[in-house]
Amino acid sequence: MEIEVGQIVKLSIPHFKKDRYYLVYQIDEVDHFLANITGKDKRESVNPIPQCPLNKEIDPEIESLINSNTKIFIRHELFFKLIENAPYPQQNKLGQPLPSLSEQEVNEIRKSIDDCFKDNRFRGNRYKVRIE
């Protein structure tokens, strides 16, 4: 299975509590870079987190927001192993294929993530996670 930048995937990553949706927003020689997708709007909370709304519905039960304060790096081999070993197909709860985002949408999300990691207001509330 080939995964491209802009694809949304559903993975069960060890150390995270549950299966989640992720956006593949970058791929280099070693890693797939993932951004986690959440249904909880944290932009107006006590400790606001920068989030980027998606223009595509992934699942009718979640609002589909990207947490811009989290970067997830996962080696290609492990990424594909998790995709292959997933106990479910890459689809939403309605059985529809997971959507892909356009290059422009991915660039906007990447900019949102980069801006968050440059902004000192969010220092102490940014996470870089390497999955090995």
> Model pTM?
0.88
Q: How many CA atoms lie within 13 A of 97 on its CB side?
A: 4
Which two tokens mark 83?
A: 């995709």
What does the pLDDT look like over 9-52, one tens digit per residue?
999 887 777 788 999 999 999 999 999 998 777 666 656 678 88
Encoded amino acid at 63, one letter: E
pLDDT tens digit sequence for 97-131: 888 999 999 999 999 999 989 988 888 788 899 98
